[in-house]
Amino acid sequence: MSTTPEDYLAKAEQTLVQLAEAKTESERLRLKRAHGAYLKLSTHGAETAERAAMAPPPRIVHEKQPTAPAGSDRMQSYFK
């Protein structure tokens, strides 16, 4: 069962109503955090799609890699 962005927005609205009725500071803080979390969850899908569109295209990887870099013989003799 997946929750849709509309469900999260409805929960955010419910937390605002509860926030108006909150009596203690700890309850207000908890409801403020919950409201922020619900808003973030409601926009998560859209943000993911935007990030995917902005991502650079995948790198082209050649099938055959070179066997050894140009100066590798020299460096191996140095470390022996």
pLDDT confidence band for 12 (50 / 70 / 90)? very high
CA distances from 23 to 15, 18, 33, 38, 62 (A): 14, 10, 16, 21, 64
Can you tell me which residue has the tokens 């991502």? 55
Of the two residues 13 and 52, the one the predictor is more confident about is: 13
**pLDDT band for position 50 (50/70/90)?**
confident
Q: Which uninterrupted H or E stretch holds 9? A: helix 5-21
Domain extent listing, the chain: 5-54
Residue with the larger pLDDT of the pair 4 and 11: 11
